[in-house]
Amino acid sequence: MRKILKFLLLAVSLTPCLLYSQSEKLRNLPYIDQRRIHFGFMLGVHTQDIEFVHNGIVSEDGSQWVAEIPGFSPGFAVGLVGDYAFTENLSLRLTPSMYFGSKYIKMVDLNTGEKENQDIKSNYLMVPLSLKYAARRVNNYRPYLIAGASAGLDLSKRKDTPILLKRFDTYIEVGLGCDLYLPFFKLIPELKFSFGMLDILQHNRDDLRDKTMIRYSEGISKATSRMVVLSFYFE
């Protein structure tokens, strides 16, 4: 987390230096930042990840299962954006969005080498609320940092699976981006990192018809979600 924050601060601090080296150009949309409120929409891609913490429990049948996500499957996102400017550099942004993606979980029994796989498809309704701190505009560019929190609700319904995840989660989010002032609108590419704050593993498995399937998840003490999101905002 600290390494990511240092990277974001360094990137934003160096970007104005590179922009200042450019000669002054004709500005597109010269008065757009004087508005207090901005609206737009978002399109993006993202990857979902889960960090599993194992407790070393051995099941009654002698198996000891561990889980991991060996790779990332890209998903896509769509949403709306509303931005309220407090000052020239600081604004509050709300971006309700839908995230469509999946997580491929690989499970292995450490004692026998037996394997089990599970593909979890998720449709998250995300409501991020962020503070956006922007540098001074140079020509048609303006880099910024964001930090905030988000709540997410998985609208997919699942039960009777080896690993069951809770539907609700909360996130801490940090990221960076750049306002690009085009002739008729602003295009805003942004890279954001989301860190889940809750244990999303469902430990109470009353939904299981085959009770022996509990062995896949009883060796996991905690599971937290992660996401990396590349978004393109249009304002």
What is the residue extent of each domain of the chain? Answer: 2-16+38-234
Torsion of CA 171, 123, 47, 69, to 10 degrees: 90
| pTM, full prediction | 0.85
Q: Cα angle vertex 224, ends 223, 226, to 5°?
A: 140
Q: Select 2-16+38-234's CATH number: 2.40.50.140, 3.40.50.150, 2.40.160.20, 2.30.40.10.
A: 2.40.160.20
Q: Hey, CA dihedral for 94, 233, 97, 133, is it positive or negative?
A: negative
Alpha carbon distances (Å) from 143 to 13, 16, 29, 69, 89 = 9, 7, 16, 33, 11
Check residue 23 and report its DSSP letter.
P
Per residue in 16-67, pLDDT (tens digit) is: 444 444 566 788 988 888 899 999 999 999 999 999 999 988 888 889 999 9
Per residue in 165-174, pLDDT (tens digit) is: 999 999 999 9
Per residue in 160-209, pLDDT (tens digit) is: 899 999 999 999 999 999 999 999 999 999 999 999 999 999 999 888 98
CB-based burial label for 110 (10 Å; 0-12, 13-18, 19+): middle
Q: How far apart are CA 167 and CA 202, in angstroms?
A: 9
